[in-house]
């Protein structure tokens, strides 16, 4: 009898601990670093309208790769909300994919972790050499003076999307070229529950991208040349204030925009609730909301009147890079896959499917990229786009400054006046959260 | 003769060792699952573990107590932010636990006597507890949207209680939203526990009290609440620990950048480690949180059990 009872207790205790494990521990699934040479694990970012859409786009191409090389690719599409944390966890454990997509602005931060295999000259030569890529896109693949941590896969730039019908109704015949014009047009367009501009105020990445472009226009950088943060310089303060004022003082964006974080601003633009939108490659998204390409125009983001050079920056270099995980056991296969994905043929197919611009110059010749939208954005990318700071602390900067702008927009939306001092103290607070090295 | 005794001893040793032997796998797993990560976290808190070392954290330089000093230096920005987050969490916990307990107790007492539809009501009351956290909190976040949410629709469009639609997920109101969702999620647990506790109170106590002329209120004060003491002792402690450590509710409502008014400590620590990629500092804050919760729990247990001895 005691034996039975003891055995029962033992079983019970084991079961309890096992359930506790199931509750408490994160599973370590998705590890593919040590997979057999015949397979690769690929983490793709969410580029399409849904994760399922991404699978539909990528899987036929992966089968093509398998036919060419005999290497089977295991695909996992990871939502943006998880991607960076998953990469960090993979870097910490050494258990991760062989090849992965990264947001190009993370390149220098991830480069500093050493988790990505550098593309030295010899490696780049295997993919056809660095001359194949758009210089701005390749400059967004790691810190200056170091071998790139990744290669560009999809490129994008910001443009000003404007609703042709609403502009015509307001008696405006072209897109604003300067911020003064944008505010003046925006005020004319803000009538009867409709607004001049839609902003994605709750999305910290959007916020930080606009803050960066505007800071460039004010002659400011968020990092000094030695890589130290300079979030609260006069130019940066003026830039952030100008952006927040679009919703606060100028009131050409709806107060409710301050909590938009799920692309509601794109929906508002597509449904005519707002007449302008500052966005990167919005075409596919607008189409899915039923807005036809001929109903909107795309122009470069406005600049200050008479600006030139760096001060005429109209966009950050947006895009996705493809990286090889350093802990991969199949470097050769991984590099073959990188060559395949950055080959002219795949570049054309994939960028066409996602409505993005191929960072491989040769692929841009395809007629699919000659639409008015992509033509404008490609010109921006080639001429007036600048990479976000390529420093190890870039990822922290995005979160902290993006959150500061979000807080300021929230204050403005609640009707509180946003002063220059208020902006400065919010940015100073953000800078103080940066880890001291 | 002697051999017989040895055999008996050996047999007895066998039966006493067996339970421990059977518990051994569980004990080892417990060590692996709970204790080892805790110890590793404590070790990390002594290191300068930034993005440059996450690939091999053992190579990170030792920082001594520097991470702890930064965390408790309340004159510097990082410490001040942590202290602010701590006070917000304290206020949130007191309110959320207090309200959950109050609503749970009220509902349990009201459901004590049987009536038609009691089973159905009990089932309805338990629904929030049965729903998956993610689905429930996401639904709340939709309801709290300023322009399209149900809350503002009712308050502004239907009842005309407010002139201008307020934000619930931004600014100071976010604290109200957070407490609301937390209470909604945890009061059914209080209700369930107290309902079970009420079953143990003999009915004749109430009958005797009624004969002595005690009203409903007096019955609750003199019989129900004292009888529920041991249940409440555990219930309040468990609710406190869950609420203080709650990560899901604030993270699902506000994402990775919570408004200052709703900056709960668990999300704050997550921010401090994952967003700024400073895992040493995050570990140090976690260790401090662990110590605080240990002290509170020990103090609470000491206090409540001593008072029980005094009243007994």
Residues in chain B within 8 Å Cβ distance of A406: 257
Residues A65 and A142 in one domain: yes
The reply to whether residue B147 touches residue A256, judged by beta carbons under 8 angstroms, is: yes
A401 and A428, same domain (yes or no):
yes
Q: Looking at residues A18-39, what average pLDDT do you find? A: 44
The reported pTM is 0.85
> pLDDT, tens digit, for every residue of A295-325?
999 999 999 999 999 999 999 999 999 999 9
Query: Chains A, B: CB contacts under 8 A, how many?
Result: 122
Assess whether A268 and A407 both reside in one domain: yes
Cross-chain residue pair A432–B57, CB shorter than 8 Å: no
If asked whether residues A287 and A397 sit together in one domain, one would say yes
What is the C-alpha to C-alpha distance for residues A222 and A394, in angstroms, rounded to an integer? 10
Which pLDDT does position A220 carry in this prediction? 96
B123 interface with A at CB cutoff 8 Å? no
- Give the pLDDT of residue B112: 86
**A204 and B281: CB-CB below 8 Å?**
no
What's the CA gap between A388 and B305, in Å, rounded? 60
Please tell me which of the candidates B54, B146, B256 has its beta carbon nearest to residue A91: B54
Q: Which of A14, A112, A261 sits opposite B26 (nearest CB)?
A: A14
B168 neighbors B176 (Cβ within 8 angstroms): yes
Domain-embedded: residue A298: yes
Q: Write the DSSP string, B83-133.
A: HHHHHHHHHHHHHHHHHHHHHHHHHHHHTSS--TTHHHHHHHHHHHHHS-H
User: Which residues of chain B, if any, have pLDDT below 70?
Assistant: 1-4, 6, 9-15, 307-312
Q: Judge: domain B84-311, CATH 1.10.10.10.
A: no
Residue A25 in this model has a pLDDT that exceeds 80: no
Please tell me which residue, A19 or A58, carries the higher pLDDT value.
A58
- Residues on chain A touching B281 (C-beta within 8 angstroms): 435
For residues B200-227, one letter each, b for 16 or more C-beta atoms within 10 angstroms of the residue's C-beta and e for the rest, the string is eeeeeebeebeeeebeeeebbeebbeeb
What tokens does B113 get?
């006597």
A105 interface with B at CB cutoff 8 Å: no
Would residue A106 count as lying in a domain?
A: yes
Does A5 reside within a domain? no
Widest Cα–Cα separation across chain A: 93
CB contact under 8 A, B54 and A396: no
Restricting to B residues 125-154, those with a Cβ less than 8 Å away from any Cβ of A are 145-147
Of the pLDDT bands very low, low, confident and very high (cuts 50, 70, 90), residue A395 is confident
Same domain (yes/no): A264, A410: yes
Residue A14 pLDDT greater than 80, yes or no: no
Best of B277, B283, B285 to substitute, by most chain A Cβ atoms within 10 angstroms, is: B277
Hey, where are the domains in chain B?
84-311
Quote the minimal CA–CA distance from A83 to chain B in Å. 12
Q: Do A92 and B55 touch (CB under 8 A)?
A: yes
Taking only residues 37 to 76 of chain A, the set having a beta carbon closer than 8 angstroms to any beta carbon of chain B reads: none
Select the residue of A2, A399, A410 nearest B170 (Cβ to Cβ): A410
Residues A162 and A53 in one domain: no
Least confident of A198-202, A280-284, A376-380, B235-239: A280-284
The number of C-alpha atoms within 13 Å of A285 and in the hemisphere containing its C-beta is 19
Nearest-Cα residue of chain A relative to residue B14: A3
Contact A91 B55 (CB under 8 A): yes
| A116/B contact by beta carbon, under 8 A | no
Q: Which residue from B57, B169, B275 is facing A259, i.e. has the nearest CB? A: B169
CA A330 to CA A77: how far, in whole Å?
Answer: 20
Chain A touched by B17 (CB under 8 Å): no
According to the model, what pLDDT value does residue A69 have? 94
Spatial separation of the C-alpha atoms in residues A272 and A267, rounded to whole Å: 8
The average pLDDT across A352-358 equals: 93
How many whole angstroms separate alpha carbon A101 and alpha carbon A325? 10
> Does residue A206 share a domain with residue A133?
no
Higher model confidence: residue A196 or residue A82? Answer: A196
Beta bridge partners of residue B62, listed in sequence order: B47
Let me know whether A162 and A147 are in one domain: no
Cα A237 from chain centroid (whole Å):
23
| A-interface mutation test, from B14, B44, B51, most A Cβ less than 10 A away | B51
Domain boundary residue, one of A386, A402, A421: A386
The verdict on A279 and A212 lying in the same domain is yes
Q: Which domain does A85 fall in, by range? A: 39-155+318-386
- Residues of chain A contacting residue B164, judged by C-beta atoms under 8 Å apart: 415
Cα torsion A375, A380, A381, A387 to 10°: value is: -160
Q: Which CATH number is A222's domain given?
A: 3.40.190.10
What pLDDT score was predicted for residue A8? 46
A308 and A408 fall within a common domain: yes
Of A18, A88, A204, the CB nearest to B54: A88
How many domains, in total, are found in chain A?
2
Where residue A424 falls among pLDDT bands split at 50, 70, 90?
Answer: very high
| Judgement on whether residues A344 and A364 belong to the same structural domain of the protein | yes
Q: Is A392's Cβ below 8 Å from some Cβ in B?
A: yes
Put simply, the answer to whether B33 touches A113 (Cβ < 8 Å) is no
**Per-residue pLDDT tens digits for A119-129:** 999 999 888 88
Residue numbers of A between 342 and 381 with CB closer than 8 Å to B: none
- Residue A192, in any domain of the structure: yes
A280 and A426 belong to one structural domain: yes
């Amino acid at each position: 009898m005691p034996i039975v009872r003891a055995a029962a207790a033992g079983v019970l205790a084991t079961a309890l601990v096992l359930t506790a494990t199931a509750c408490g521990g994160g599973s370590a699934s998705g590890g593919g670093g040590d997979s057999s040479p015949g397979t690769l694990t690929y983490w793709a970012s969410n580029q399409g309208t849904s994760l399922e859409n991404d699978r539909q786009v990528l899987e036929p191409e992966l089968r093509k790769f398998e036919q060419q090389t005999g290497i089977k690719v295991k695909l996992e599409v990871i939502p943006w909300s998880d991607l960076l944390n998953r990469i960090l966890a993979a870097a910490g454990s050494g258990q991760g994919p062989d090849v992965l997509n990264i947001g190009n602005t993370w390149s220098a931060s991830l480069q500093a972790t050493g988790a990505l295999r550098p593309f030295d000259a010899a490696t780049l030569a295997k993919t056809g050499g660095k001359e194949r890529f758009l210089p701005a896109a390749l400059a967004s693949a790691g810190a200056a003076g170091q071998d790139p941590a990744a290669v560009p896969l999809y490129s994008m730039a910001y443009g000003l999307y404007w609703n042709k019908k609403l502009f015509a109704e307001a008696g405006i015949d072209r897109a604003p070229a300067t911020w003064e014009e944008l505010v003046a047009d925006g005020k004319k367009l803000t009538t009867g529950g409709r607004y001049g501009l839609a902003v994605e105020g709750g999305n910290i990445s959007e916020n930080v991208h606009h803050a960066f472009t505007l800071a460039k226009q004010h002659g400011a950088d968020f990092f000094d040349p030695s890589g130290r943060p300079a979030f609260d310089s006069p130019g940066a303060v003026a830039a952030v204030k100008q952006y927040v004022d679009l919703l606060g003082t100028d009131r050409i964006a709806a107060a409710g925009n301050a909590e938009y974080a799920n692309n509601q601003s794109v929906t508002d633009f597509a449904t005519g609730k707002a007449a302008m939108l500052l966005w990167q490659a919005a075409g596919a998204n607008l189409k899915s909301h039923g807005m036809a390409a001929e109903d909107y125009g795309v122009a470069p983001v406005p600049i200050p009147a008479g600006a030139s050079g760096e001060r005429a920056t109209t966009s950050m270099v947006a895009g996705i890079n493809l990286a090889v995980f350093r802990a991969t056991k199949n470097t050769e296969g991984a590099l073959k896959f990188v060559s395949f994905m950055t080959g002219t043929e795949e570049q054309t197919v994939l960028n066409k499917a996602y409505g993005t611009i191929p960072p491989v110059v040769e692929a841009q010749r395809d007629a699919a990229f000659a639409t008015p939208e992509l033509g404008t954005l490609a010109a921006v990318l080639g001429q007036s786009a600048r990479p976000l700071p390529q420093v190890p602390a870039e990822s922290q900067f995005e979160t902290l400054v993006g959150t500061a702008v979000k807080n300021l927009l929230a204050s403005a939306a609640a009707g509180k006046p946003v002063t220059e001092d208020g902006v400065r103290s919010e940015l100073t607070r953000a800078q103080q959260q940066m880890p001291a090295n | 003769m002697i051999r017989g005794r040895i055999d008996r001893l050996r047999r007895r040793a066998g039966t006493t060792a067996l339970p421990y032997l059977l518990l051994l796998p569980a004990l080892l797993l417990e060590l692996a699952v709970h204790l080892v990560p805790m110890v590793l976290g404590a070790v990390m808190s002594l290191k300068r573990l930034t993005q440059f070392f996450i690939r091999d954290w053992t190579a990170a330089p030792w920082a001594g107590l520097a991470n702890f000093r930064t965390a408790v230096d309340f004159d510097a920005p990082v410490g001040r932010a942590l202290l602010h987050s701590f006070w917000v969490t304290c206020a949130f916990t007191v309110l959320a636990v207090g309200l959950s307990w109050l609503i749970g107790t009220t509902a349990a007492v009201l459901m004590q006597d049987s009536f038609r539809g009691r089973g159905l009501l009990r089932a309805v009351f338990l629904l929030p507890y049965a729903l998956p956290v993610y689905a429930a909190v996401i639904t709340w976040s939709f309801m709290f949207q300023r322009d399209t949410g149900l809350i503002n629709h009712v308050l502004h469009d239907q009842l005309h209680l407010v002139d201008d639609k307020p934000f619930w997920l931004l600014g100071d109101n976010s604290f109200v939203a957070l407490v609301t969702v937390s209470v909604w999620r945890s009061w059914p647990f209080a209700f369930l526990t107290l309902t079970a506790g009420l079953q143990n109170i003999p009915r004749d106590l109430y009958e005797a009290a009624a004969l002595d002329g005690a009203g409903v209120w007096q019955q609750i004060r003199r019989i129900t609440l004292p009888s529920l003491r041991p249940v409440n002792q555990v219930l309040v402690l468990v609710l406190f620990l869950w609420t203080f450590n709650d990560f899901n509710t604030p993270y699902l409502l506000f994402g990775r950048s919570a408004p200052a008014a709703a900056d709960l400590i668990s999300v704050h620590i997550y921010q401090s480690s994952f967003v700024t990629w400073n895992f040493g500092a995050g570990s140090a804050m976690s260790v401090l949180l662990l110590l605080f919760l240990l002290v509170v729990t020990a103090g609470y247990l000491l206090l409540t059990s001593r008072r029980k001895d005094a009243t007994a």
